[in-house]
Amino acid sequence: MSGTPILSLNALTMRFGGLLAIDDLSFEAKRGDITALIGPNGAGKTTVFNCITGFYRPTSGSIRVTRDDGKVFALEKLPDFKIAQRVHVARTFQNIRLFAGMTALENLLVAQHNTLMRKSGYTVFGLFGTPGYRSAEREAIELARHWLAKTQLIERADDPAGSLPYGAQRRLEIARAMCTNPVLLCLDEPAAGLNPRESDELNTLLRSIKNETPASILLIEHDMNVVMEISDRVIVLDHGKKISEGTPAFVRNDQKVIAAYLGVEEDAVDQAEAEVRA
């Protein structure tokens, strides 16, 4: 199954009344890859995410996820929680949506809701504290502990999520998403607001997710250092359309992308001006 893409969008269109947010978009994300979705503000990147994760219902087009066992899911027809529950697509949010009043550990336990519900006999066994449920709960705490350690949050495990510093909250959101054992992890601007050292730590975390778990990663990002460092493939959106795609190096030098999104390096501008004056 390693040849087929994990995610494939085909002729995806999203219209909000008169506003065409996504226009006939098609692309593929390879299994096990880190695929980056970049583009100017308002290009439709988060809209694409919302379509993939079921928060919007696309106007037309198809979104297919193919699991490792060969099962294919058509996401354009499923509601948001079913996509997370059945297809195991997890996401983080641009504006961080943690359960602020619950501890970091509790956040990660909520993520394992579906497994725990089954093991608790839909609450009945859990109510009477059967050993089957108790061991399931222990396992859940172990998985939570694993991801807390991976995101350097073990020390803050019992603190309310709302009291964590910004960078820690971003990491916690990723840890929570990983506790659902996803096959596709969608990250919306995971590096926003992180200083360069924290961005480096994020890169390490994402690389370890790519190498150590079955998850494929799809991310929206503006921080070019993150994108260039770790993406296997980059897709560039502008005004709802795909304007470029390829390896990070290719996209970096694509004129269309530079004009619409990256801009020219200031040093290059200074140099060009110096040359002109000379």
Interactions with another protein, residue window 11-40 (CB under 8 A) = 16, 38-40
Q: Does 90 bind another protein (CB under 8 A)?
A: yes
Compose the 169-188 pattern: x for residues touching another protein by CB under 8 A, - for all others. Answer: -------x---x--------
Considering only CA atoms, which of 13, 4, 40 is closest in space to residue 238?
A: 40
Q: Does 132 bind another protein (CB under 8 A)?
A: no
Q: Does 159 bind another protein (CB under 8 A)?
A: yes
Q: How far apart are CA 16 and CA 46, in angstroms?
A: 14
Compose the 51-80 pattern: x for residues touching another protein by CB under 8 A, - for all others. Answer: --x-x------------------------x
Q: In this structure, are residues 76 and 54 in contact, taking their beta carbons and an 8 Å threshold?
A: no
Name the one range near another protein by CB under 8 A: 23-31, 64-72, 140-148, 203-211. Answer: 140-148
Looking at residues 230 to 259 of the shown chain, list those that interact with another protein (rule: CB under 8 A). none
DSSP-H helix ranges across the chain = 45-52, 80-82, 104-111, 113-119, 124-127, 131-150, 166-178, 196-212, 224-230, 248-252, 255-257, 266-277
Q: How far apart are CA 144 and CA 172, in angstroms?
A: 11
CB of 3 to another protein, least distance (A): 28
Q: In this structure, are residues 164 and 198 in contact, taking their beta carbons and an 8 Å threshold?
A: no
Q: 4 vs 13, which CB is nearer to another protein?
A: 13
CB of 9 to another protein, least distance (A): 19
Residue 81's identity, in one-letter code, is: F
